[in-house]
């Protein structure tokens, strides 16, 4: 099969290379089509997201992506926001599950964060009103709100999950989350066999800290989803282990929740598991369910054996030692 590969910046090339090795070890022959994005692309093409990259993803439908660095401040729109909007990858899906062998305050966490990926406070609509006053627009459209909630319910139905919790702040943002909540309730009516729950986002934070095992599928606006994803990653072992997918009607881009981690880039300390598991999600998406499951089993076995683990997991290994062990386990 063919798939696009974006190496990314910082630890990106280190962890995507690891993922390609593990996929190959699982016996899937992937012809990876390299596409530029991020700081290197900005230098070579004058654009951190060249059109060519979007075209390649449109052609091959799926991509594995390393994290990219977005310079803070004027002049650059986030590559990720452009990618998600440009390909209409409207749903971000982040499965958050406890992993045996990773010490955390909770066991048996098994939830999915579904995040609206194209609008909300990350729509990119910001402007200066007068010097010293800026506005960020929090865009909510009925079409996008209904689409993401329906996606969450379909995911729940397909995976036999029982509860969809819609997270909002409708009491304060009466219009934007008011509309979102109205859409969520309407869509929920179409799924009588999945329980629907609605909760204020601050309350969700409290309950996630107190007992994350209470949650099943969570669906929310873009920025809330960004924050909750990182929070949930912290519940199960950190950014190094949580995979993700950005899914649209036609294309899908798979990537970890974490960023380019410039603080550890080049030191061999990067944990490749999040991107390895994102690659497994890609395989699952294209119907290679057995290979995907094989990779997940290899991750579980590696963590349980505690061999080669990187410092974020309490080990003294490196990206290379952990990848070697994953490759060994997946090929067993
Ligand atoms: P970050 O996720 O890169 O790093 C946060 C902390 O987690 C750092 O201490 C880092 O060392 C650690 N960490 C992250 N991934 C790790 C891994 N695989 N193994 C071990 N430790 C890991 O977030 P930060 O520092 O806020 O952002 C850095 C850059 O990444 C920024 O330019 C940001 O815009 C970009 N970013 C890109 C994303 C993407 O392309 N999807 C997502 C998030 C941030
Ligand atoms: Mg984030």
Q: Report the residue count for the chain.
A: 332
Q: Is the pTM of this model over 0.90?
A: yes
Domain stops at, among 235, 258, 284: 235
Looking at the DSSP assignment, which residues form a beta bridge with residue 94?
113
Q: Closest ligand 1 atom to the C-alpha of 66?
A: 40
* 11: confidence class by pLDDT, cuts 50, 70, 90: very high
Say whether pLDDT at 145 is over 70: yes
**pLDDT of amino acid 214:** 96
Would you state the pLDDT for residue 75?
64
Domain of 26, CATH number, reads 3.40.718.10
Long-range contacts of 140-144 (CB under 8 A, 24+ apart): 140/175, 140/176, 140/177, 140/179, 140/180, 140/221, 142/179, 142/183, 144/90, 144/116, 144/118, 144/119
Is 270 among the domain residues?
yes
The verdict on 70 and 136 lying in the same domain is no
Q: What is the pLDDT of residue 73?
A: 63
49 lines ligand 1 (CB under 6 A): no
DSSP element (H, E) containing 136? strand 133-136
Tell me the sheet residues that pair with 196. Answer: 164
Mean per-residue pLDDT, 126-137? 96
Q: Is 48 close to ligand 1, i.e. is its CB under 6 Å away?
A: no
Nearest by Cα to 225 from 88, 122, 318: 122
Which percentage of the chain shows pLDDT scores above 90? 92
The rounded distance, in Å, linking the Cα atoms of 96 and 231 is: 10
User: Looking at 7, 169, 177, 284, which residue is catalytic?
Assistant: 169
Q: What confidence score (pLDDT) does residue 74 get? A: 61
Between the CA of residue 249 and those of 42, 147, 239, 264, what are the distances in Å? Answer: 28, 10, 27, 35
In a domain, 100, yes or no: no
Model confidence pLDDT, tens digit, residues 63-103: 999 999 876 666 667 899 899 999 999 999 999 999 999 98
What is the pLDDT at residue 165? 98
DSSP run (H or E) holding 2: strand 2-6
Q: Which atom of ligand 1 is nearest to the CA of 256?
A: 41
Pocket test for ligand 1, best of 42, 92, 258 (most atoms within 8 A of CB): 258
Last residue of a domain, one of 217, 235, 253: 235
Residues 199 and 251 in one domain: no
**pLDDT tens, residue by residue, 169-213:** 999 999 999 999 999 999 999 999 999 999 999 999 999 999 999
Buried b (16+ CB within 10 A) or exposed e, 150-163: bbbbebbeeeebee
- Kindly tell me the sign of the dihedral angle through the C-alpha atoms of 199, 234, 120, 131: positive
The answer as to whether 299 is a domain residue is: yes
Q: Is the pLDDT at 223 greater than 90, yes or no?
A: yes
Assign 313 a pLDDT band (cuts: 50, 70, 90): very high
Q: Render pLDDT for 238-287 as a digit per residue (tens, 0 to 9).
A: 999 999 999 999 999 999 999 999 999 999 999 999 999 999 999 999 99
Q: Known catalytic residue: 29?
A: no
Closest among 266, 236, 242 to 12, alpha carbons compared: 266
pLDDT greater at residue 116 or residue 45: 116
**Of the residues 235, 261, 295, which one is the last residue of a structural domain?**
235
3-state class (DSSP) for residue 296: helix
Q: What is the pLDDT of residues 102-124, one digit of tens each?
A: 989 999 999 999 999 999 999 88
């Amino acid at each position: 099969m063919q798939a696009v590969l974006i190496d990314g910046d910082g630890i990106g090339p280190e962890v995507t290379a690891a993922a390609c090795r593990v996929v190959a070890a699982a016996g899937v022959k992937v012809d990876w089509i390299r596409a530029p994005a991020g700081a290197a692309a900005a230098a070579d093409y004058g654009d951190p997201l060249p059109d060519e990259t979007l075209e390649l993803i449109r052609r091959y439908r799926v991509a594995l992506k390393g994290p990219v660095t977005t310079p803070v401040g004027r002049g650059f729109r986030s590559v990720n926001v452009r990618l998600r909007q440009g390909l209409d990858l409207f749903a971000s899906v982040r499965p958050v599950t406890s992993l045996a062998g990773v010490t955390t305050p909770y066991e048996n966490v098994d939830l999915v964060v579904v995040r609206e990926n194209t609008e909300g406070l990350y729509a990119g609509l910001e402007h200066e009103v007068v010097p010293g006053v800026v506005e960020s627009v929090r865009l909510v459209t009925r079409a996008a709100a209904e689409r993401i909630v329906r996606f969450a319910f379909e995911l729940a139905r397909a995976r036999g999950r029982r509860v969809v919790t819609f997270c909002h702040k409708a009491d304060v943002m009466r219009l934007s989350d008011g509309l979102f909540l109205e859409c969520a309730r309407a869509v929920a009516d179409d799924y009588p066999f999945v329980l629907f729950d609605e909760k204020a986002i601050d309350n969700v934070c409290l309950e996630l800290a107190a007992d994350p095992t209470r949650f099943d599928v969570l669906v929310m606006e873009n920025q809330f989803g960004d924050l909750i994803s990182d929070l949930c990653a912290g519940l199960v072992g950190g950014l190094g282990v949580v995979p993700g997918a950005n899914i649209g009607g036609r294309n899908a881009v798979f990537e970890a929740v974490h960023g380019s981690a410039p603080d550890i880039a080049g030191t061999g300390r990067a944990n490749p598991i999040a991107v390895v598991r994102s690659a497994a999600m890609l395989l699952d998406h294209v119907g290679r369910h057995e290979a995907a499951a094989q990779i997940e089993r290899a991750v579980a076995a590696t963590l349980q054996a505690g061999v080669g683990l990187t410092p974020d997991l309490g080990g003294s290994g490196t990206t290379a030692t952990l990848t070697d062990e994953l490759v060994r386990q997946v090929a067993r």
